[in-house]
Amino acid sequence: MRFTHHPIQSVKYKVRNGMTPNDTFYELIRQYAAGDLDSAAASAASIAGQGELYAQAARWLARTAQDGPIGAYLDAKAFQAFVDSDSNRAMYARLESMVAAAWDERRPARILDIGPGDGRVILGALRRAGQSGRRLRPAPAFDLVEPAANLLSKAIEGLGRHAPGVRVQGFNDAVQKFVERAPASAAWDVCQATWSLQNLAPGERAPLFRWLRGRCRCLLVAEFDVHSEAYPLLSSERVRLIHDRYVAGLTEVTGRMDRGLEERIKQGFLMPILFGYFRTDARRSTYEQTIQDWMAEIEAAGFAGARRELIYPYWWADAYLVTADAADE
């Protein structure tokens, strides 16, 4: 297990009532998971001056205790600004090159993208495929399955503006609904999902992978190699790992943009995601795992020879692209 890309600096904080800020953070996580939002907010407020993570947690919990849970993707501007931050730009640029290389090799006529967001990976890959001197001709047709209507419209608009030769259909649905409604004859040369399948519980992913196995020749999945999920939900080891990674993540966006936008990223995206890891109900926002587990799930569905390639050493965890082929190829 390795979490070394962004070493966390040791900081000496005052110990109050026999508890360090780390101890109090662990306590507020347990209170949050138990549904005691008032106590969690009070605990966070007691350490708000001891570091940026604690200050942001205190603000978010105070608002959540008053107004109820806040979804991680409800503030579209916050999410967009986060994706445009420095390390995300570098990671996406590398992914776009890797997807373009996969398309160049396979020359797909039809591509299914599950959770394309605003379409940046598709547009970037199309540009990079063209730069390679091996333009995709004829231009592939895209089926985009995206539950966020505002992001789907941006993807379709962007493709229409920057890739006019591309045919595109948008489906404003969760992928489970899309699967239910898709015709039995539906098939694609490439099916891809970039950081979108982690939002599905394992019990939902397995049937999706089996369904895709019968309908696509090649599967591309970009995900993070997350090891914190090897521990029980509220174990001290899991809390510590997530705590340390989010200290690094907040550092990545602090002091690098307009202050108001920075706060929207922290409050509208990072804090909801962080606390979402500790939800004990059915509304968890992410179900991450190691890349080896992703590959095992994909192969268990009938794909052959799942292989991984490092995309980027991201602050949260290493990002990988997993490629797998239909077993009969």
How far, in Å, CA of 291 to CA of 227, rounded?
9
- CA 114 – CA 192 distance, rounded (Å): 6
CA 111/CA 118 separation, integer angstroms = 16
Structure token digits, residue 247: 């200290």
Q: Are 257 and 81 in contact (CB under 8 A)?
A: yes
Whole-model pTM: value is: 0.86
**119 has pLDDT over 90:** yes
Architecture of domain 80-226+288-326: 3-Layer(aba) Sandwich (3.40)
Q: Is the peptide bond before 138 cis (omega within 30 degrees of 0)?
A: yes
Would the pLDDT of 109 be above 90? Answer: yes
Q: Is the pLDDT of residue 130 over 80?
A: no
How far, in Å, CA of 37 to CA of 48, rounded? 16
Find how far residue 60's CA is from the centre of its chain.
20
For residue 318, pLDDT over 70 is answered with yes
Token pair recorded at residue 218: 């090649």
Segments making up each domain of the chain, as ranges: 21-68+234-276, 80-226+288-326
Residue 8 in this model has a pLDDT that exceeds 70:
no
What is the full DSSP assignment across 168-232? EEEE-S-HHHHHHHS-TT--EEEEEEES-GGGS-HHHHHHHHHHHHTTEEEEEEEEE---GGGS-
SS3 call for 313? strand
- What's the pLDDT at 189? 96
Q: Which residues pair with 170 in a beta bridge?
A: 144
